[in-house]
Structure 1
Amino acid sequence: MSVEPKLTRFKQNVLSKYQIYNSIFMTLPFDAITKTGVLLPLFHETCKKGFANGDNPTTIVDTFFKKYQARRTKESQINLLFRFIQYIERQVVLFDAIEDAAFPIVNNMEGIGTLRNLKESATSENKLEELQNYLEEFKVRIVLTAHPTQFYPGSVLGIITDLTEAIKDNDLSKINNLFGQLGKTPFFKREKPTPYDEAISLIWYLENVFYKSFGEIYNYIQQNIYDDGKKHNEIINIGFWPGGDRDGNPFVKPDTTLKVAAKLKQAILKKYYADLKNLRRKLSFRGVEDRVIRLETILYNYSINLDYPEAISSKELIRELLSIRNVVVEQHQSLYVNDINNLINRVHMFGYYFATLDIRQDSRIHHSVFTTVIDYLIKTKNSSFPDNYHDLSEAEQIEILSKANDNIPDLEVFEDEMVYNTLKTISIIKDIQASNGERGANRYIISNNQTALNVMQLFAMLKIMAFKDELTVDIGPLFETITDLENAPSVMEQLYTNPEYMAHLRKRGSKQTIMLGFSDGTKDGGYLMANWGIYKAKELLTEMSRKYDITAIFFDGRGGPPARGGGKTHQFYASLGPTIEDKEVQLTIQGQTISSNFGTLESSQYNLEQLISSGIKNRIGSEKNKMSDEDRIVMNDLAETSYQVYKDFKSHPMFIPYLERMSTLKYYAKTNIGSRPSKRGNSDKLVFSDLRAIPFVGSWSQLKQNVPGFFGVGTALKQYEERGDFYKVEQLYKNSKFFKTLLENSMMSLTKSFFDLTKYMSEDEEFGEFWNIIFTEYTTTKNLLLKLTGYQELMENEPAGKASIEVRESIVLPLLTIQQYALKKIQELQKQGVNESDELKVFEKIVTRSLFGNINASRNSA
């Protein structure tokens, strides 16, 4: 299918519909100010013309009021700006719903990268058996995290879902009602959500999207690729972080984790009960109906009361369903046998846990907790830890930890809350496994992992606290900074040469999960270096693991925007080549990535199929993706140059002050979108290392200067141009799918930048020079990427994606203008020494409120 029709389909089914429904939406009065819908298009036009003329946001807002609303009082003007914000937020929702409704029309659901396409090409090339064998060992795991990258409360997500359906049906009266509901439903959260609230909102996706789309995909593979009715590898599974991710989140307590695990179990039991209820209507045969009714009754009672005395295990449930299936096949002409198979498949995939709850904590917290524990054990005098333990070398400490088998009979001896909670969390993993099955919680991620000692401290504590006989938990070190990525292979070798740790890995199927963090990697090393650093680390970790006969399972901490490892994810996985272990694809998905890529049944199924086929494509075409030595030298050189440029930029004396005073960074904490604090440390002073990656990347994106997605790329390319070696980069671009995907994702960051918005800063006596550094790098990067790709404009190869971004950016243009206007007013007031006043509070409120629509509109950054 050619590129053109996709753009045509987008224009017909998204753009035209948005224009029609938006004109209806603009005429609806939601409050006393009925003129908002009339005035917003005028304001939008004023913004567009103003920026084209080189005006700044303050001039634009003032011009608008002078021209159209001169008689308004100051207070009434501010009220109108708040109304504009409310309208624009809802326009973004409308566009989301229209795009969701058009998803199966705009995207080819049976085209390249789908399972049907995969099966057909395997059959035509006589590779069906190869495909079957591959699928027996390949897995995709998406891990839902509660990282706050989207601001929609649950009620608004519900409206988007209903609106999507109404738009599909062109049901005008329903659409009108939903517009009314949307106008009255608040977007702003008065209070921060608790981790449990976050879990509930993500369980909604499990129940309403993933249960169905996972099932459809698995059924398709079983019926069309295997066609033997047997049980196969489950291929796709799901991980879950809310309630288990304690890293930097003091609000995740052990009882939160237990509550979330119980909720996941209840949710899946309810889904099985609903399926059995439907089956019972179909299987009204002798010798079958009574058995289905019995199962239905048991699961209904079990889903309400997890201590239900007559409950059955998931194994017993599958056994009984298989037995029922046999009767149907033998005595009732296999009537509805596919429906029975579908339920058996789902029980096989989701067990009684629905999603695997990962536990995560920072190595620095572990270190201080375990130091306290070891001090306590040493004091008890009958411990395996010698008195001089803390003075021993790291290797000696690891040796002792690998054999530790001490007892802590009572956790109450630890008064410190962090110590108690960390140990309690370890011990409840066993309780969750007893209730939900081992896969209910069998993985512990150590963030900011730097050494083998970090892993062995946890290894010892897991055994001391709960797993004396057999450790049924995988430990996953997370390497994030550039230095940690470089050290990762030697850290893993230290672990692989430890007999006790190795024995544990052998019992776990000779697999080692290793997590790599894009967000903090980019924050630390810049765009090119983070991606290349992770690529090289994966190669070396693959080699190191294979040397010890271990399969490395790479788990990528990827966010939505390219600056956080996002962008076109499936293209990324299809480009890795043979030097990187690819038996499993595991990645985190969060915030707007969940709703934009997996929010509806169609988009979820399409994107999951793309992920499955990308891993397979990499396997089958991996030799083609291998980087030549010449190309590696160029790639490495580009990464090193951009790293240096980014490091110099980061250490510029204006870097932190600029973020603190010219961006929206400090307003993130006030938005109440996530349960965790917006920075790690407790100090009042802003320290770079304490910055969370999400507010960091988000603040650049609100400024429309997506620095983390491109900074350093331009200068690195320019060096080759100046040396007359640009052909080497062109060669790399032509040969390497990995490099090509990286640059395409970077183009997305450039496409979403809009420097006219903040051009006024270039004349600021304090920050002018700093703004110019960013703008120069942006221009250099843009020009050289166009030269390299031969495009006339950015994202030329993805016209539908580009068109979607353009509409979204256009919708929020007035919002960005209002936000900058308010930020400028705050700066002026603070320069006058005003740090407390009602006027200041109003402008701060405008900045905070305008964060929502801007972030939500960036949905297609995923």
Structure 2
Amino acid sequence: MINIKRILGKRTDLLHFINGSSQQSLQQYQKASQGLQFLSGQSKQPKIHNQNFYQFSAMKRTFDLLNDQKKLKSVTNKEILLANFESRVQLRYQLLNSLFQTLPVDQINETSMLIPILTHACQKGLESGLSPEEVIDKFFKEYDQNQIYNTEQKKIDFLFRVVQFVERQVVLVDALEDANYSQINDLHGPESLGNLIERIRRHNLDDELLKQLSRFAVRVVLTAHPTQFYPKQVLSIINDLNEAIQSNDITQIQYLLWQLAKTPFFQREKPTPLDEAQFLIQYLENVFYDAVGTLQDRLRKVLGSKFDKQKEFHKFYTLGFWPGGDRDGNPFVRVETTKKVAKLLRTSILKCYIRDVRQVKKRLSFKGIYELLEEIENDFGSNFSYKPSVSLEQLYEKLDFIRQKIITDHNGLFLPIFENFQRKVHTFGYHFASIDIRQDSRVLDKTFKALQEKVPYMLPYNFEELPVQQKLDLLLSLKPLNTVPQLDDEVLNDTLQTFNAMREIQEENGEFGSYRFIISNCRGPLDVAKVYAMSQLTGGWSGNSKIDVVPLFETIDDLKSADKSMKELFSNGIYQKHLKFRKMRQTIMCGFSDGTKDGGYLGANWGIYQAKENLSKISRDYGVEAIFFDGRGGPPARGGGNKHLYYASQGPTIENHEIQITIQGQTISSNFGVTDSCLHNLELLMSAGLQNNVLEDPKRVLTQSQRDLLNELSEVSLKSYLEFKNHPKFMPYLLEKSPLKYYGEANIGSRPAKRSAGGEMKFEDLRAIPFVGAWSQLKQNVPGFYGLGTALKKLEAEGRLNEAADLYKDSLFFKALVQNSMMSMCKTYFPLTHYMLKDKQYSEFWNQIYNEFQETERLLLLITEQKQLLDNEPVIKQSIKLREQIVLPLLTIQQFALQRINKDHQEDLHKSYQNLIIRSLFGSINATRNAA
């Protein structure tokens, strides 16, 4: 039920203390919800287009709900949030969308007036069984009676304008959701940090909380995976639009919408890795820098005087960075790129420090303090050369000296302002975010063999015939070469030179500038040993390597054998010495994306859970602290979805000293793109980890019978998915019926769509992003549910479906899986491809997918006792519904072009259809959150 005290602004001191929230009265809450005043500036109802009248019922319900205090007492938080969404996002979208019709752009008025008609035609036509080609043809026949579009090329041109218009409509929804984030999300709900700490203190577990806070951390790693790339001029407009919506500046909103309409979205050329780095650094500077500082201040308040002074600057949050370091399948990332990105990061953080220290100086104008602050500002360099003149250790000493003087000489006046800056410096150093280096194990193996050919004496001639442990001893004992040879292959030579680049970055930006080497597709301990060996052979780290070698286990088989691989390393005496230098901590990465692609949704998630348990046990046996780093994508099919529920479900059998995750594309903009969302989502990650470590919950611990059931479900699901994946129609279907083969031409990211260059597209070389994205474009989202329905159906046939229902109620892990799968299924729309049921080649295959979806939906609703998918998450459900309605014409156009391209062999039209597919693909990926 709703917390009336919170709505009335009478929050507890703790919530004020932790969440930095301010009181707001019910009257203010009501006024903020009156969306009509937002546009009209008065209570009088403004004019609105006919197609938007239905929205006023939602608005009225919102007013009734907020003005009827008796009713207010009986509604839930989620109902309040839904009412807010309907009034603040959905209604405002309809009202602001009408402004597009006044844009001073050629033919925009005509296009905007026809889009609602086209949307209705798409929905009605597709659901009546028409193909996208038939829907579009019928639309022109019925609504182009004057034959304006009397040639195929003119029709294509109009459809291009529709695509451009739709992607801007979705940007408007994004801006509205971002601007109203705090009103449509429960920032102080049961998952919040403030709520968690309140519960911990009710159980008298303050000491345990302090213990966990002193060691627990969250690491967020920004990646440049190709799931979104707005040009910087578009990003600037979006940021300004958010501000204009928050300040209710209707004139500014209108001008920005006009600007948005005239600004190109599409990239004529692929962004370079450097472009991607610059793109993401804007988020570091403008959002993460202050958000992390704010959260660390709040957590320090919780710690209070009990916190050990030596750990005063414990890093609660750290940031990682992949652009410029991620070489896995990206031939455009080179050593020089990595160095340039490191310089960009250092320049960026120094700019932030200079900006901050100038603000601190305004308050700390005291004699003896102001001069020291000016000295520190000068230490950071100038506009011409952002290069620090003092080491980090010297900077820390200066800051500590100033802090003590503020306390002793000035009674601690303005100390919190200074400490906020000081903590940021301790957190971000001169590196801002650590550049992770990543390369595929197969490339690394080739690099090592090429080096071995150049230096044949470094290993015995019979090396390949030796036992694994003997190989490990030899590899881990290698000493620096007097001269590191140049390798003949450009990619292999660059891979070898990466270790020198990491050392140079550490010298310039500090040790945390670049210290992790991630091995994609890691197949065993020898892959780890070869990377360590190359770090030693290239010199500079002899005997005390300042590098963490991070194996990334991705496939189902590699996940199953991951503990065996790490055991062979942990039992090696030489590797144990290396771990001692690294404080007995071993980072291990698990790849959700490729795991799901390889073994299906349930098989991959249960496989990762078991792998983490086995790795935790092995690590504990050898006195090693395992740190799990999760390669998670945006959608649930690649490890996205509700991250709090997932991490809060990790029981005591899984090490949980840190939560480390990758975030990418739309996940960055949607979950961390503005200060409110960044603060909330960073807080939720911390809350999930602390909840796991401090509070006991039987739903977090799997019983043996629950494990047996999960094993059974996983085996049936895996078998079902593998049979589906091995179907002879599988790859032909994706290549012909989806825009998969056009992904590389959409110019979203610098990385190619597949790992190997040239030749046909093979499943094993296919990257997870275009794989999952292709299913998303088809609105089938197979990787998010396939096999789960088959597994549940087997239980039902045996009269045991109640066991799955009990598992959903009693296991947080299974509940998280089901909820996230439902999110994937909510984004399906089979009428879009229903025409394939008549396709002689693919009808049976399409029907197989559709039947699996129907069974999964039916059985999930039974075990969760919901009437519709995501009934328990009404805001998310409504947001998905709104977005899916907006992009329906775009996806219909895409399928129309795919159908046409196989029929029309006229060269100029063929090229036009191809461009329409690429343009609609770009628009769909770029403009919709978590589409790939």
Normalising by the smaller structure, the TM-score range is: over 0.9
Question: Is the aligned partner of 1:416 residue 2:489?
Answer: yes
Match of 1:184 among 259, 262, 272: 262
Aligned partner letter, 1:253: R
What is the CA distance between 1:363 and its match in structure 2?
Answer: 0.8
What is the CA distance between 1:30 and its match in structure 2?
Answer: 1.8
SS of structure 2 residue aligned to 1:137: coil
Matched with 2:322 is: 241
Matched with 2:501 is: 428
Any conservation in 2 of the 1:707–1:774 contact (CA below 8 Å)? yes
Matched with 2:925 is: 855
Question: Is the aligned partner of 1:643 residue 2:718?
Answer: yes
Question: Is the aligned partner of 1:173 residue 2:251?
Answer: yes
Matched with 2:604 is: 530
What is the CA distance between 1:156 and its match in structure 2?
Answer: 1.6
Matched with 2:228 is: 150
Matched with 1:69 is: 144
Question: Is the aligned partner of 1:271 residue 2:344?
Answer: no
SS of structure 1 residue aligned to 2:637: helix
Match of 1:551 among 594, 613, 625: 625
Question: Is the aligned partner of 1:6 residue 2:6?
Answer: no
Any conservation in 1 of the 2:392–2:429 contact (CA below 8 Å)? yes
Any conservation in 2 of the 1:207–1:271 contact (CA below 8 Å)? yes
Match of 1:445 among 496, 512, 518: 518
Aligned partner letter, 1:350: F
Match of 2:549 among 472, 475, 480: 475
Task: Kindly report which structure 2 residues correspond to 1:688-767, keeping only aligned pairs within 5 A, or say none.
Answer: 688-767=763-842
Any conservation in 2 of the 1:266–1:304 contact (CA below 8 Å)? no
What is the CA distance between 1:314 and its match in structure 2?
Answer: 2.2
Matched with 1:355 is: 433
Matched with 1:678 is: 753
Aligned partner letter, 1:776: N
Aligned partner letter, 1:78: I
What is the CA distance between 1:368 and its match in structure 2?
Answer: 0.9
SS of structure 2 residue aligned to 1:446: strand
Match of 2:176 among 90, 98, 104: 98
CA distance in 1, matches of 2:378, 2:418: 17
Aligned partner letter, 1:536: Q
What is the CA distance between 1:857 and its match in structure 2?
Answer: 4.8
Any conservation in 2 of the 1:578–1:622 contact (CA below 8 Å)? no
Task: Kindly report which structure 2 residues correspond to 1:126-145, keeping only aligned pairs within 5 A, or say none.
Answer: 126-145=204-223
CA distance in 2, matches of 1:436, 1:732: 49
Matched with 2:470 is: 396
What is the CA distance between 1:16 and its match in structure 2?
Answer: 1.4
Aligned partner letter, 1:388: N
What is the CA distance between 1:232 and its match in structure 2?
Answer: 3.6
| Post-superposition CA distance 1:351-388 (Å, at most 9, x none) | 1110011111111111111011112222xxxx441223
CA distance in 1, matches of 2:80, 2:322: 40
Match of 2:681 among 607, 610, 615: 607
Any conservation in 1 of the 2:473–2:574 contact (CA below 8 Å)? no
Report the CA distance shift for 1:500/1:304 in structure 2 as closer, same or farther (over 3 A): farther
CA distance in 2, matches of 1:93, 1:484: 40
Task: Kindly report which structure 2 residues correspond to 1:164-243, keeping only aligned pairs within 5 A, or say none.
Answer: 164-227=242-305, 230=309, 231-243=312-324
Aligned partner letter, 1:789: T
CA distance in 2, matches of 1:385, 1:622: 52
Aligned partner letter, 2:526: L
For normalisation by structure 1, the TM-score amounts to 0.96
CA distance in 2, matches of 1:769, 1:405: 60
What is the CA distance between 1:228 and its match in structure 2?
Answer: 6.7
Q: Give the count of matched residue pairs.
A: 849
| Post-superposition CA distance 1:120-166 (Å, at most 9, x none) | 33333322221111111101101111001114222222211110110
What is the CA distance between 1:406 and its match in structure 2?
Answer: 4.2
Task: Kindly report which structure 2 residues correspond to 1:245-260, keeping only aligned pairs within 5 A, or say none.
Answer: 245-260=326-341
Aligned partner letter, 1:497: S
Aligned partner letter, 1:162: D
Matched with 1:570 is: 644
| Post-superposition CA distance 1:399-457 (Å, at most 9, x none) | 21121114151433x22212321111011211111111111111110010011111111
Matched with 1:305 is: 385
Matched with 2:573 is: 499
Any conservation in 2 of the 1:113–1:609 contact (CA below 8 Å)? no
SS of structure 2 residue aligned to 1:55: coil
Aligned partner letter, 1:846: L
Task: Kindly report which structure 2 residues correspond to 1:316-335, keeping only aligned pairs within 5 A, or say none.
Answer: 316-335=394-413
Aligned partner letter, 2:781: N
Higher mean Cα deviation, 100-109 or 758-767? 100-109
SS of structure 1 residue aligned to 2:588: strand
CA distance in 2, matches of 1:377, 1:520: 35
Match of 2:423 among 345, 348, 356: 345
Match of 2:910 among 840, 844, 847: 840
CA distance in 2, matches of 1:402, 1:326: 46
Matched with 1:58 is: 133
Matched with 2:16 is: none
Query: Where in structure 2 are there 5+ consecutive unaligned residues?
Result: 3-75
CA distance in 2, matches of 1:232, 1:293: 23
Matched with 2:5 is: none
For normalisation by structure 2, the TM-score amounts to 0.89
CA distance in 2, matches of 1:489, 1:520: 19
Which segments of structure 1 move beyond 4 Å, counting only runs of 4 or more?
227-230
CA distance in 1, matches of 2:196, 2:811: 23
| Post-superposition CA distance 1:328-353 (Å, at most 9, x none) | 22333322211111100100110111
Any conservation in 2 of the 1:384–1:400 contact (CA below 8 Å)? no
Matched with 1:373 is: 451
Any conservation in 2 of the 1:222–1:228 contact (CA below 8 Å)? no
CA distance in 2, matches of 1:681, 1:384: 30
| Post-superposition CA distance 1:223-256 (Å, at most 9, x none) | 2332579414211101111111111111110111
Matched with 2:852 is: 777
What is the CA distance between 1:827 and its match in structure 2?
Answer: 2.0
Aligned partner letter, 2:524: T
Report the CA distance shift for 1:443/1:691 in structure 2 as closer, same or farther (over 3 A): same
Query: Where in structure 1 are there 5+ consecutive unaligned residues?
Result: none
Report the CA distance shift for 1:576/1:176 in structure 2 as closer, same or farther (over 3 A): same
CA distance in 2, matches of 1:535, 1:672: 35
Any conservation in 2 of the 1:445–1:478 contact (CA below 8 Å)? yes
Any conservation in 2 of the 1:452–1:491 contact (CA below 8 Å)? yes
| Post-superposition CA distance 1:660-691 (Å, at most 9, x none) | 11111011111111111110112422211000
CA distance in 2, matches of 1:27, 1:56: 33
Any conservation in 2 of the 1:515–1:554 contact (CA below 8 Å)? yes
Matched with 1:658 is: 733
SS of structure 1 residue aligned to 2:922: helix
Match of 1:560 among 628, 631, 634: 634
Task: Kindly report which structure 2 residues correspond to 1:766-845, keeping only aligned pairs within 5 A, or say none.
Answer: 766-829=841-904, 834=905, 837-845=907-915
CA distance in 1, matches of 2:222, 2:246: 27
Any conservation in 1 of the 2:613–2:653 contact (CA below 8 Å)? yes
CA distance in 2, matches of 1:197, 1:477: 28
Higher mean Cα deviation, 144-153 or 581-590? 144-153
What is the CA distance between 1:525 and its match in structure 2?
Answer: 0.2
SS of structure 2 residue aligned to 1:828: coil
CA distance in 2, matches of 1:428, 1:43: 54
Report the CA distance shift for 1:790/1:77 in structure 2 as closer, same or farther (over 3 A): same
